[in-house]
A and B are shown apart, each in its own frame.
Chain A
C-alpha cells in the first residue's frame, strides 16, 4: 500500500481535508517511540488503496514542540516506517508567505509533493488575487491544487494529483536538513527561505484592496491592543462580565432554589419514612441542588466568554497578555495555556506541549492551576453570596461582582509572581522564545456556536460532575447518619429536655439533638480529628469535612456542605443552603460564617490545588511524581498561609 503524508501549518483546514479524503476509514495510533497521536486513513481510488497519515500541524520542519518533532524525525530519516512516498502540503491561501515555508522545506527533500491551496474563499474575501500559473512556474515539480475543504471543492483534482504525483528531480538542497541542535543555522536557513518566498508571493499574489472587515478590525485594534487602553478595556470588560454574572443569574437561581426545596418537601411527604427516604431528602437531593443552583452563573459566564471568542477578541487578549507576562519571565507561549486554565487547568497543562524549553514548560505547568478555573465558580459564588454584602459601590458597581473580579485577578497575579520565583530555581534558558500570533478579523458571533458551547458545558457539568457529587453525597450521608456503637443515641439522650413547652424551645431542643448526633457520627469524629489544624483559619469541623471531600474536585465543596447541613435537620430541608449557613452557630453563639472566615475560605480556594484530575495530568505530562507533589505542596502552603493571614487580619 502506498503511503502518503499530509503536512501543513495549524488551522489550515488540514484535518477537514483528511476527513474528506478518508471518510470513515480512519484509525488512531502512535508514532513509534513517542506519545503523539498518529491519525491514519485509507483512500480508495482507481483500484488502488493509499494510506494517508495526518501529521501534527507545524509552521516549520524544525520543531518547537514534541508534537512537531514527529515531522522532523520522519522526514529526516528515509528508513523511518512512516517515511512517505509522496506528500500533500496544505497551505492557507490567505496567508501564503507564512505557509510556503513548510512547503519549500518538504519540496526540497525530493519527496513528490502536491501543494493544496486551501481556504481560497477567505483569500478572495481578503482581496487577494493569486496568479496560480505564476506560482506553478516557481515550483515546476509540484502539482498545485485549489480547494475549499470545508465544502469539498477541488477534491477530484487533488485525488487525480495524488494518483500520479509529479516526480521531483534530484535537488542539491535535499541533503541540507540541519541538525536539531544547530538553531543558529536553522534561523539563517529560515531567513533565506523567507527572502525567496517573499519574492515568489510578490510575483504571484496581488492585494486588490483590504476587505471592509480588515479595515474595520485595523481601526478597532488601534484601541483594543493599545499598550494602555487595551488593558483598561480588557479589565473593564471583565468587570462587566462578573457584574452580569451576579446580577442577571440571580433570577433563575431563585427559581431553581425554590424548585429543589419543593421537590425535597414533596419527596419527604410522598415516600414512606425510612432510611432510603432520608438518604434522598438529606443526602442526594440537597447535594445535587447545592450545585445545580449555580448553573445559571456558569452558563452566563461561558456564554459571555464564548461571545468574546467568537468575535475574535480573545486573540487580542492573548496578544496583550503576552506583553504583560514577559516581565515575569514567562514564555510568550505560556499565554495560551494560562488563559485556557481560566476555564480548566487540564487543557491548560496539556497545551504546554507547544513550549520547547523544559524549564519554561515546567514553570507554566506548575502555575497554571493558580488561574481561577470554572470549578471554583460555584465555591466563590456561594461564599461571596454568604459573606459579602449585596450593595452598590459608586452607585453602579456591585460589591459581590467586584470581589469575584478580585479573585480572578488574584489568580493571575499569584500565577505570575510564583512563576517569577520558580524561574530562580531553574537554569536560565538561553533560548529566545518566539510567539507568533495571527489576529483574525472581527466578526459577528455565530449564535448557534455560542449556544452549543454553553449547552455542552452545562450538560457535561450536570451529568459528569453530578455523578461525583451524588456519589460523595451518598458516602457523606452514610458517614453522618451512622456512628460507632450507640454513641449517637447516647449523646442525643444527654441533651436536656426543654423546661418550658413552646415552639421555639422545641426547635432549640431539636437542633441540639441533631448537633449532638452529628458530632458523634463517623463524620463528626473525623471532622473533630482535623479541627485543630483548620481552626486557625477560622473553620469548624463541618467546613473541614467539606475541604477534605473537595480534594477530589473543588465544586464538591458546595454539595458536601449542602449534605452535611441537611442530615438530621428534618424541619429545615426546604430552607435554602445559604440561609442554613447564615444561621450556623458555634456552641457559644458566635456565627460560623463571618466576613473573616468566608474571606479566608475564598483565599484558600483561590490557592489550593483541590483537583485530583489536574494532579494526574501533571504526573502524566511530566512523567514523574516529583512535579505533582511539589505543586500540591507549594499550593497547600500558599493556601494555608493565605487563609491564615486573611482570617487573622479580618477577625
Chain B
C-alpha cells in the first residue's frame, strides 16, 4: 500500500506550505480589518477636531469678514465645510459662501477634477461644484455628454437643482442620442429647473426628434406654461402620435378653452388617440 501511495504524485513540503499560506493570508486580512478601524477612527477624530475649530469661521464668512489666515490643513477643512454648507443654506448666506469659495479658487479645482479620466473623480467634482454651478454653465453642459452614464445623469441633476434655465434645451436634447440621459431624469431635472416661459425651452418644442419634441411639450404642460399654448397646439398637427398625445395631455393640463378649436380640428388616427382627444374636449368644455 505504501508503494502505491508513494507512486502517486505529491509535492514535498506542500502541507506545511499550504497551512502557512492560509494562516498568513487570514492573519493579514484580520490585521487589515483592525488596522483599518484604528486608522479611520484616528483620522476621523482629527478631521472632526479641525472642523470644530473652523466652524465658527463660517459665521464670519456670512458676515463678510474673510480676512483670516489659517494653516493649510485647517484651510482645506474650512473649504470642504463651506462647500457642503453651500448646498444647505439659501439667499445671502449662500451667496456669501459661494463668493468666498470662488475667491479660494475652489471652482478651478472642481473644473480641473471634472476633466479627470476617472468617472468617480468627475462625479465627486461635479457634486462639489453644484453650489457654484451658475459660474460656469458651459462646464455642466459639457458634462451632460460625459462618457459615463452615471456622470451624465448627475450632471442633469446638478443642472436642475441649480435652476439653470439656460440649460433646459440642452437637457431635453440629451434625452436622445448615443450619450443620452434617461428620460425620467431629464424630465425631473427640467421640472426642478422650473423654467417660467416656453422661450426657456429654445427650439425643442418644434424639434425634429419625436421624443425630444414630445417631452418638451409634455413638460410645458406639467409646468403649466400658459405661453406654450400655441407651441402645444402646433404639436397636434405632428405626424407622430407620440407628439400628438403629448400635446393633448398638455392641453388638458393647461385647461384653456382657447385650445378647443385646435383640438376639434385635429386628425386622429387611432381609437386610443381619439378617446384622449374626446376626453380633453369634454374637460375643456367644462365637463
Indicate, yes or no, whether A interacts with B.
no
Interface of B toward A, CB cutoff 8 Å: none
